[in-house]
Structure 1
Amino acid sequence: MTCETTFQLLQHTSPTEAGDCAEAAWASDNPGYNADAIPAARLKKVQVAIGPAC
């Protein structure tokens, strides 16, 4: 068994079709970000971006 980080897992499991975009970041790098907002605001400091629409 291996230990995979959340960012690595996101890269392996996120959709990559036209129009898809998945972004992830450290909460500490985005102070004040509201994770419950709908629609979600764009992250200011992104660690991982997957998909052609990013």
Structure 2
Amino acid sequence: MARGWRDAADVTVRVPMNGSASSLNASNAATLMLYEAARQRAAGSVEQRGADA
């Protein structure tokens, strides 16, 4: 990922993967993140961040 994109991001994450794939495309990465956010919210384990928290 280009440095400009990383600098523009609020946070970065790393997704450990097995096998020979070295990266996910953007739609797969977004799907994974949205699924995990929904899973954590359903379990009541997501911490609120920001000024409204």
Please, what TM-score do these two structures have when normalized by structure 1?
0.23
Higher strand share: 1
Q: Quick check: which one's helix share is greater?
A: 2
Structure with bigger RCO (C-alpha 8 Å, 6+ apart) = 1
Relative to the length of structure 2, the TM-score reads: 0.24
